[in-house]
Structure 1
Amino acid sequence: MRLLVATDAWRPQINGVVRSIEQMIAHASAFDAEIVLLTPLDFRSLPMPTYPEIRLALARPRAVARKIRELAPTHIHIATEGPIGIATRKICLANDFAYTTSYHTRFPEYVSARAPVPERWVYRAIRRFHNTGRGIMVATDSLEAELVKRGFNNVLRWGRGVDTTLFRPRDTRVLDAPGPIFLYVGRVAVEKNLEAFLKLDLPGTKVIVGDGPARADLERRFPQARFLGARTGEALAEVYASADVFVFPSLTDTFGIVLLEALASGLPIAAYPVTGPLDVVGDSGCGVLSRDLREAALAALEIPRARCRAYGETFTWHESARQFFGNVRSAAGDDPVVDLDRL
C-alpha cells in the first residue's frame, strides 16, 4: 500500500497531528505500507488569521490533482479539514476515489472561541466533510460516542502511543525552580484554557512549555509562571522528568498526546473530567480528574511516579500504527483504490 496523507498540519508546527503522522511514517514498513505526503510545503501559503504560526496553503484542486499523479498513491487519507484537505476531498469525490479521514481537533469549538460563529454551523460543515469518506478515525471511545450522536458515520478507532525510550523518568532535574513544579506542555492559545491553570493558587512553580498567539499576553499577566517556549526531543523529555504534576486545563482536546508523554515520564495528571483525560487517565489511578483543577493538582502530588510510568508504557506507537493502517485497508479494501487514469 502506498498511502497519500493529505495534511494542513506539518512541520515546523509542533502538535499532535504532526507527531501522529510522523510516527505512522516511522512504523509504515512494519505493516507493508509506505506514506507519501501532501503538506503546506508543497504550495504557496499565507499566515492563518489570529494564528500566524499556522500557514494556510493555497492549494487549488488542479495543483492537488497534479501532485496526486506525481506521488501515485494506491490509497488516500485526509488528516485535516483545511485547504489541502478540502481540495483533496474535492478531487476524490470528482474521480470516485475512496478515502478515509481523521478527526484530530475540535475545530468547531476552536472557531467559536475566535469568531462569533455558532458551533452547530461549523459541526454541520465538518460532518458533511467527513461523512463522504469511507471512515473517520478518532482517538477515544468518548469522542466516538459524541460524534456518532452528532450524526457522523463510519467512525473508526485510532489510538495514540508514546516513545517510552525518550520520555522516561530521569535522575537529574533540569528545572531550577521552587517545587513542586506544575507543568503544562502544548500550544499557548485561547482554546487550551491555560488561564484556568495560571490563575490557580498553587505552591511551587508553574512551568509552560510551548508557543502560540496567547503567549505574550499570558506571560505579561502571569509573571510568576515560567514560559520556556517550544521544546522538542531530549530537551522536552528532560523538562517532563523535572516536573511533579502535569496539569492539562484544556476542555476541547480530542486526546492529548502530551498526557501520554507525561505518564511515560512518571508524571501524574491533573485535569478536568472531559474527553481526552477521561479516556487516557480513566480509573488508572495515575491522575486526578475534577471540576476543581486546583484540588486535582494538589491531590495528584500523592500519586506514585512508578505507577504512572508503568501505565504510560502500555501505550505504543506500534499498536497505533496497526490500527491506522488496518482502518485504511478495511475501509477502502486491499486492492488499489486510486485510478490515476481518471485524473
Structure 2
Amino acid sequence: MYIDPKLSRRRILIVTDAWRPQINGVVRTLESLAGQLRAWGHEVSFLTPEPFWTVPVPTYPEIRLSLASRREVFLSMARSRAHHIHIATEGPLGLLARRYCLERGKAFTTSFHTRFPEYAAARLPLPEEWSYGYLRWFHDPAVATMVPTPSLRTELSGRGFSHLTLWGRGVDGVRFHPGEKTLFTDLPGPHLLYVGRVSAEKNVTAFLDLDVPGSKIVVGDGPDRAHLERLYPDAHFVGYLHGEELAAAYRSANVFVFPSRTDTFGNVVTEALASGTPVAAYPVTGPRDVVTDPRAGTLSEDLGAAVRRCLTLRRADARALGEQFTWAASGNQFLSALTPANAPAKLARAI
C-alpha cells in the first residue's frame, strides 16, 4: 500500500542489537532507512548496544552483545515517547524491548533479518528447529513481522510464523554506479568479486573453489579469513573497503559472485547491480527475489556456469535492474507496516 510519507510526521524508535562498529546488512539497512525517514521529516531514534557494557560472541568477536539491564532499557524506551516501536533483532536488547512492550501494553512491530538458526547450526550443535521455535515465540506478539522478500515470507509461513509483511530494501544509486575500472588492474582478468563476511555461513569456499579463469577477490573480513587465506593462496583478500573504495571495487569487477545460501536478501547484490556488475548466485531465497532479469545476472546450481554466462552480459542491463531498488520505496513499505504504540497490543503466550 502506498502512503504519502510526509502526511503524518512520526516519532519512531528502532531497537537493534546489531550496530556499529559491526559491518553487515542489518546495520546498513537500518542506517539507510533512517536517512530516508529523516529526509521525510520523521524523528528516528535508535536503542543500540552503544551506551551499554557489551561482551563478544564466542568465536565471532566483532559481534558484541549488550549487558543492559531491564531498568536501563525500560527507562530509555519510556523517555523516547515513541509513536511507533520497531524491534529489529532478537538479541538481548530486542528481548528487553519486547518485554517492555508486553508489560506496558504497547503495540510493536518486528523484522526478520538474519537466518540465526542456520548460522548457529554452522558453529554449534544446536538443532535448527530449536532456534526457529525461539524465533516464532519472539515474533508472535508483534502486530507485524517485516520480511525482505516474498520467498522468505513463504518459507517462514511454512515454519509457522504469522502476520508477515514485506519490507524490501533499496540501494544508493548515486554512490554505486557504473564507471571506469580503477582497481584490480594489476591482476589477470576477468575479475571475480565477493563482498561480505568471511565466515562459514556465507559459503565463501564455494566461490574460492570455482574452476574458472581470472582472479578471485574477497572484500570483507571475519572469523574464517586467516584459515581461507592459507588454503587459497591464489585468491586476493583485501579486507574491508568503505565508501568510494568499495564502490570502485564493484565497478571494477567483471562478475559479482554471491555464494551464500542462507541470506534473507543480500544488500551486496543490489550494490553490485547498481554498479553495473552482473551477479552469479545460487537460485535460493534472496538472489531469486533480486536477480529477476536474466540479462542482469545468472542463478544456477552450477555456480561456475553462472559466472561464465555473466561474463557475456551487458553492464547496462545490470544497472537497469539495480535502479529498481530504492530507499524511498523501502521506506514507504516500512511506514505502511508500522502500528501506533498505543494501539491495542497482541497478547503474548509468554513474556
**TM, length-normalised to structure 2:** 0.93
Give the equivalent residue in structure 1 for 2:5: none
Alignment of 1:12 with 2:27, yes or no, is: no
Q: Give the secondary-structure state (helix, strand or coil) at the position aligned to 2:50.
A: helix
- Counterpart of 2:282, as a letter, is Y
Alignment of 1:134 with 2:137, yes or no, is: no
Match of 2:174 among 165, 169, 182: 165
Alignment of 1:197 with 2:216, yes or no, is: no
Match of 1:146 among 139, 155, 161: 155
- CA distance in 1 between partners of 2:337 and 2:41 (Å): 14
- Contact 1:79 1:85 (C-alpha < 8 Å) held by counterparts: yes
- Contact 1:31 1:325 (C-alpha < 8 Å) held by counterparts: no
CA deviation vs aligned residue, 1:109-157 (integer Å, no higher than 9, x gap): 0111110111011101101101111110011000001111111111010
Q: Give the secondary-structure state (helix, strand or coil) at the position aligned to 2:161.
A: coil
Match of 1:22 among 9, 19, 31: 31
Give the equivalent residue in structure 1 for 2:6: none
- Contact 2:38 2:44 (C-alpha < 8 Å) held by counterparts: no
For 1:32-43, what aligned pairs fall within 5 Å after superposition? 32-43=41-52
- Contact 1:75 1:337 (C-alpha < 8 Å) held by counterparts: no
- Contact 1:259 1:269 (C-alpha < 8 Å) held by counterparts: yes
Structure 1 residue 336, shift from structure 2 partner: 4.8
Match of 2:306 among 296, 304, 323: 296
- Contact 1:284 1:311 (C-alpha < 8 Å) held by counterparts: no
- CA distance in 2 between partners of 1:142 and 1:207 (Å): 30
CA deviation vs aligned residue, 1:138-187 (integer Å, no higher than 9, x gap): 11000001111111111010010111111011124222311001100011
Give the equivalent residue in structure 2 for 1:236: 246
Match of 2:90 among 77, 81, 88: 81
Match of 2:66 among 35, 57, 69: 57
Which 10-residue stretch deviates more, 25-34 or 61-70? 25-34
CA deviation vs aligned residue, 1:233-284 (integer Å, no higher than 9, x gap): 1110001001000000000000001000000011111111100110001244
- CA distance in 2 between partners of 1:126 and 1:281 (Å): 28
Which 10-residue stretch deviates more, 31-40 or 254-263? 31-40
- Contact 2:293 2:321 (C-alpha < 8 Å) held by counterparts: no
Segments of structure 1 that go 5 or more residues without pairing to the other structure are none
Alignment of 1:311 with 2:321, yes or no, is: yes
Alignment of 1:122 with 2:131, yes or no, is: yes
- CA distance in 2 between partners of 1:244 and 1:224 (Å): 18
Match of 2:236 among 219, 226, 239: 226
- CA distance in 1 between partners of 2:106 and 2:302 (Å): 48
- CA distance in 1 between partners of 2:337 and 2:321 (Å): 25
- Contact 2:295 2:314 (C-alpha < 8 Å) held by counterparts: no
- Hey, which bits of structure 1, 4+ residues long, moved more than 6 A? none
Q: Give the secondary-structure state (helix, strand or coil) at the position aligned to 1:318.
A: helix
Match of 2:256 among 246, 251, 254: 246
**TM, length-normalised to structure 1:** 0.95
- CA distance in 2 between partners of 1:266 and 1:247 (Å): 13
Which 10-residue stretch deviates more, 269-278 or 22-31? 22-31
- CA distance in 1 between partners of 2:344 and 2:231 (Å): 52
Which 10-residue stretch deviates more, 277-286 or 155-164? 277-286
* Structure 1 residues 10 and 238, CA gap change in structure 2 (3 angstroms): same
Alignment of 1:217 with 2:224, yes or no, is: no
